[in-house]
Chains A and B, each alone.
Chain A
Amino acid sequence: EIVMTQSPATLSVSPGERATLFCRASQSVSSNLAWYQQKPGRAPRLLFYRASLRATGIPARFSGSGSGTEFTLTISSLQSEDFAVYYCQQYNNWPPLTFGGGTKVEIK
């Protein structure tokens, strides 16, 4: 099973600042990585697939990068609606499909 590790667990950022989230895989997942955003009481929302391909309707201030075992999600200028929990998921080698533990982006 591929283990996905996200860091940090919590990120405190002021509105307008840049946020950088990390996701590491226990073995290479190539570029087969997705990112999701989840707000309290809501379902996850797809942000990126293939590590860097933006899903429909995702603003350009979000960017994804990486391949192999190291991945990054960057939010260039945090807006109020961006405060949420973010999850990465690998789909290169399954079953099982595996998620990281999440990074909570909170208001500083």
Chain B
Amino acid sequence: QVQLVESGGGVVQPGRSLRLSCAASGFTFSTYVMNWVRQAPGKGLEWVALISYDGNNKYYADSVKGRFTISRDNSKNTLYLQMNSLRPEDTAVYYCARVAISGSFGDYWGQGTLVTVSS
């Protein structure tokens, strides 16, 4: 069965960096587009970034453009999110989600990892 397991969250000071990972299993990772979506405490869902199946195309929300980098290692079945220059407003649960073949929506989601940006 499809499994997505995020890791790498934690407490970090403003201005510092953090890298999230998402380990995928149960499907052919290299053939799927992947996504990061976040959710601030008590708030709704916010799309963060998307990467094509081969890593050649990447898209970002304006709120993270220039600070966050999405990448993937298809040999390791792993998705990454490198987060630099973190701000308190980046505090959220970060979910990785597999993007469906039939459209850019998430058909399977990980359990999320919490990132807290605070001094």
Contact = CB atoms under 8 A, between A and B. Distances in A.
Nearest to A97: B47
A94 B59 contact: yes
Nearest to B61: A96
A39 interface: no
Q: Chain A contact residues: over half helix, strand or loop, or mixed? A: loop
A64 interface: no
A32 B103 CA distance: 8
Interface of A: 32, 34, 36, 38, 42-46, 49-50, 55, 87, 89, 91, 94-102
Nearest to A35: B105
B34 interface: no
B105 A49 contact: yes
13 contacts: A32-B103, A34-B106, A36-B106, A38-B45, A43-B95, A44-B95, A46-B100, A46-B106, A46-B108, A49-B107, A94-B59, A97-B104, A99-B47
A95 B60 contact: yes
Q: Chain B contact residues: over half helix, strand or loop, or mixed? A: strand
A42 B111 CA distance: 7
A44 B104 CA distance: 15
Contacts of B46: 99
B105 A46 contact: yes
B47 A43 contact: no
Contacts of A38: 45
Contact of A99 (B45, B62, B109, B111): B45
A44 B110 CA distance: 9
A50 B103 contact: yes
Interface in B24-48: 35, 37, 44-47
Contacts of A89: 45, 47, 105
Given A44-B45, A99-B44, A91 B109 contact: no
Nearest to A4: B44
Contacts of A36: 45, 106
Contacts of B106: 34, 36, 44, 46
B79 interface: no
